[in-house]
Amino acid sequence: MSYGHVKSGDRINLQTLREELEVDTTYALVKTDKMEVIRMALHKGKVVDRHTVDSEISVLCLDGEILFHIDSTAETLTKDDWLYLKEGQPFSYSVKEDTILLVTIVFGERESN
């Protein structure tokens, strides 16, 4: 589930967010024409099958442990580990411990109609 966005200049704690939100909530922090930043809380055991995103992505593990399968390699992320995925790069993941991620998606140039 995703909630509203923070405003420019808002200060938040990425571990606890705001008192009125549950710690295990996925929260869209910012979305603009150029990027989206999401704080994702994932429960142990969650598995996401192989897929791609048509944008560059960075993933910062704030807490927990998650195993990413990227192309033919596997990378375990734990607290303070960072991962970059190029546009269209196939990946999947499985959550080994309850995990909090900060995901940044950078949109490429958009075609105008």
Residue 8 lies in a domain: no
Number of structural domains, the chain?
1
Residue 12 lies in a domain: no
Rounded Cα distance, 40 and 91, in Å:
17
Computed over every residue of the chain, the mean pLDDT equals: 86
Q: Is residue 38 within 8 Å of residue 80, measured between CB atoms?
A: no
Identify the domain containing residue 36 by its residue range.
27-106
SS3 74: strand
Residue 57 lies in a domain: yes
Residue 6 lies in a domain: no
Q: What is the tens place of the pLDDT at every residue in 9-45? A: 888 888 776 555 555 578 888 988 899 999 998 999 9
Q: How many CB atoms lie within 10 A of CB 68?
A: 19
Residue 7 lies in a domain: no
Residue 52 lies in a domain: yes
pLDDT, residue 18, reads 55
* CATH code for the domain in which residue 73 is found: 2.60.120.10
Rounded Cα distance, 51 and 55, in Å:
12
